[in-house]
């Protein structure tokens, strides 16, 4: 039997442990995590802060239960500090000191860390990031004990926007600050403007094209690049993440051009006995093959399957990353799959775009709401590179259809042919996806 060591026990690592045990009861598996909690529901944390998820325990699985269920040696509060690939040995640090152990196969799922740049005058007692359970607990504790009335959120990506909604639900007046000219870089400017209007309608203060420069007044005043300032009882920094690559890099493993760990189609790093997955790795874009770093839970789960399949003798390759993401901002849902305009421009791809604003279902049936869809496609052959959807209803459905169509290598010419199911509460006889296809094909035929 093998000795398998896994570093990191949340989305990627915990899944790998569970998958290995399905077919392999014998290998000796040790899982190290530097934190106290493993296999927790990262994505649920904003909703616990907002009170939607009422019970903290629902986000957690007890460590004993996991160790027992999968028959693994689980070592929490233990940080792996270095790897010696030549001698197949790692060094780790726990409360009793530094130790070393050997492995036959090593699996790295160390995730990413929230960026928290140092700003002059920043007060750590009232400035938070949200990446793990201690972060969540610190925010919750601050809200309970200090009863903040105002919060500044720096960064209008999906964590920033989810936090706005959930802090607003706690009665906190929110200001969101981003140096870009739009919220949510995942979608193009036209789609983002719907989100921006909605935030304003919910009385969220939105400051775009404006960056944080420094703090003053014991961290309660944020001084911005345009000279304005914002008063805030607390600040959430949601300015992005950085893949945790240090241990891999120091041991000589190859790092890709995106700054994340390089892996092949079977999730092996440059050392075939060391695998890696999740937020720490770079994979290739499904459609263009270009290197891409995407930090999402779905791909981490798929990569766990690919990795374990290979570890156990299979050879199913990872098909590539599509980057399909969806998120909720108050009453709106917004999603994107594939590449957006900025990414396509960066890659120099010759594309066309078409959008379609319509109602989510038959207008005479109550509850129809505006939805906005768009597709980005090859200017020559109609192959689809990306799609986006924003609205109140039916967004997850349209996004999933577009993601599936793209995975199946369909072109915009296929969209009018899709029979998607119609009754007045759900759609129109021509589904908005069909119309998007008609519009796109007319652009290519003309």
- Active site (annotated) includes residue 43: yes
Pick the closer one to ligand FAD by CB: 7 or 174: 7
Binding segment for ligand FAD among 140-148, 214-222, 272-280, 377-385 (CB under 6 A)? Answer: 272-280
Binding segment for ligand FAD among 203-211, 258-266, 295-303, 424-432 (CB under 6 A)? Answer: 295-303
157 binds ligand FAD (CB under 6 A): no
Please check whether residue 114 is in contact with residue 127, taking contact to mean a CB–CB distance below 8 angstroms: no
Selected from 110, 157, 219, 394, the binder of ligand FAD by CB under 6 A is 110
Strand order in the sheet with 281-284: 261-262, 281-284, 291-292
Binding segment for ligand FAD among 106-114, 207-215, 331-339, 408-416 (CB under 6 A)? Answer: 106-114
At its nearest, how many Å lie between ligand FAD and the CB of residue 108?
8
Q: Compute the distance between CA of residue 408 and CA of residue 406 in angstroms, rounded to an integer.
A: 5
Site for ligand FAD in 125-144 (CB under 6 A): 130-131
Counted residue by residue, the chain has a size of 446
Site for ligand FAD in 210-269 (CB under 6 A): 244, 247
16 binds ligand FAD (CB under 6 A): no
Pick the catalytic residue: 24, 41, 43, 89? Answer: 43
Q: Which residue has the tokens 């891999």?
A: 248
Pick the closer one to ligand FAD by CB: 247 or 253: 247
Please check whether residue 388 is in contact with residue 336, taking contact to mean a CB–CB distance below 8 angstroms: yes
At its nearest, how many Å lie between ligand FAD and the CB of residue 3?
17
Q: Compute the distance between CA of residue 167 and CA of residue 151 in angstroms, rounded to an integer.
A: 8
Selected from 3, 18, 43, 362, the binder of ligand FAD by CB under 6 A is 43
Q: Compute the distance between CA of residue 350 and CA of residue 291 in angstroms, rounded to an integer.
A: 19
Q: Which helix (H) or strand (E) holds 134?
A: helix 133-146
Q: Which residues contact 25 (CB under 8 A, 6 or more apart)?
A: 71
Question: Closest by alpha carbon to 388, among 191, 159, 160, 181?
Answer: 191
Size of residue set near ligand FAD by CB under 6 A: 32
User: Residue 404's CB: how many other CB atoms inside 10 A?
Assistant: 14
Pick the closer one to ligand FAD by CB: 32 or 377: 32
User: Residue 36's CB: how many other CB atoms inside 10 A?
Assistant: 13
Q: Which two tokens stand for residue 384?
A: 């689809």
74 binds ligand FAD (CB under 6 A): no
Residues forming contacts to ligand FAD in the complex (CB under 6 A) are 7-8, 10-13, 32-35, 42-43, 45-46, 79-80, 109-111, 130-131, 159, 244, 247, 278-280, 295-298, 300
Report, as residue numbers or ranges, the catalytic residues. Answer: 43
């Amino acid at each position: 039997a093998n000795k398998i060591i896994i570093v990191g026990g949340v989305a990627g690592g915990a899944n790998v442990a569970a998958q290995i045990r399905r077919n392999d009861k014998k290998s000796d598996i040790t899982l190290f995590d530097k934190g106290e909690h493993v296999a927790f529901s990262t994505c649920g944390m904003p909703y616990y802060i907002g009170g939607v998820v009422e019970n903290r325990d629902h986000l957690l699985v007890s460590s004993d239960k996991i160790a027992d269920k999968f028959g693994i040696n689980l070592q929490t509060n233990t940080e792996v500090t270095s790897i010696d690939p030549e001698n197949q040995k790692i060094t780790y640090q726990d409360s009793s000191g530094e130790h070393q152990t050997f492995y036959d196969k090593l699996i790295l799922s160390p995730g990413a860390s929230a960026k928290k740049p140092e700003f002059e005058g920043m007060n750590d007692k009232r400035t938070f990031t949200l990446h793990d359970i201690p972060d969540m607990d610190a925010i919750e504790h601050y809200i309970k004990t200090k009863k903040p009335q105002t919060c500044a959120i720096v960064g209008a990506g999906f964590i920033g926007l989810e936090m706005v909604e959930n802090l607003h639900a706690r009665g906190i007046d929110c200001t969101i600050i981003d140096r870009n000219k739009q919220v949510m870089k995942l979608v193009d400017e036209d789609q983002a403007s719907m989100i921006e209007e909605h935030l304003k309608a919910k009385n969220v203060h939105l400051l775009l094209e404006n960056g944080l420069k420094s703090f003053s007044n014991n961290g309660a005043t944020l001084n911005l690049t345009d000279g304005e300032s914002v008063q805030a009882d607390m600040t959430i920094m949601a300015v992005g993440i950085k893949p945790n690559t240090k241990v891999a890099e120091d041991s000589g493993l190859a790092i890709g051009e995106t700054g994340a760990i390089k892996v092949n189609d079977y999730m092996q790093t440059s050392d075939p006995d060391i695998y890696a997955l999740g937020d720490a790795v770079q994979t290739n874009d499904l459609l263009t093959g270009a290197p891409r770093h995407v930090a999402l839970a779905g791909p981490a789960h798929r990569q766990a399957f690919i990795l374990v399949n290979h570890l156990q003798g299979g050879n199913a390759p990872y098909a590539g990353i599509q980057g399909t993401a969806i998120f909720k901002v108050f009453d709106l849902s917004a999603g994107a799959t594939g590449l957006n305009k900025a990414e396509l421009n960066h890659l120099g791809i010759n594309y066309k775009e078409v959008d379609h604003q319509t109602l989510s279902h038959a207008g005479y049936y109550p509850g129809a709401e505006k939805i906005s869809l768009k597709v980005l496609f090859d200017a020559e052959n109609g192959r689809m590179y990306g799609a986006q959807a924003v609205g109140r209803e039916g967004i997850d459905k349209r996004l999933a259809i577009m993601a599936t169509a793209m995975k199946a290598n369909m072109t915009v010419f296929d969209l009018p042919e899709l029979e998607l199911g119609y009754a007045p509460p759900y759609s129109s006889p021509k589904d908005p996806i069909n119309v998007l296809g008609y519009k796109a094909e007319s652009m290519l035929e003309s």
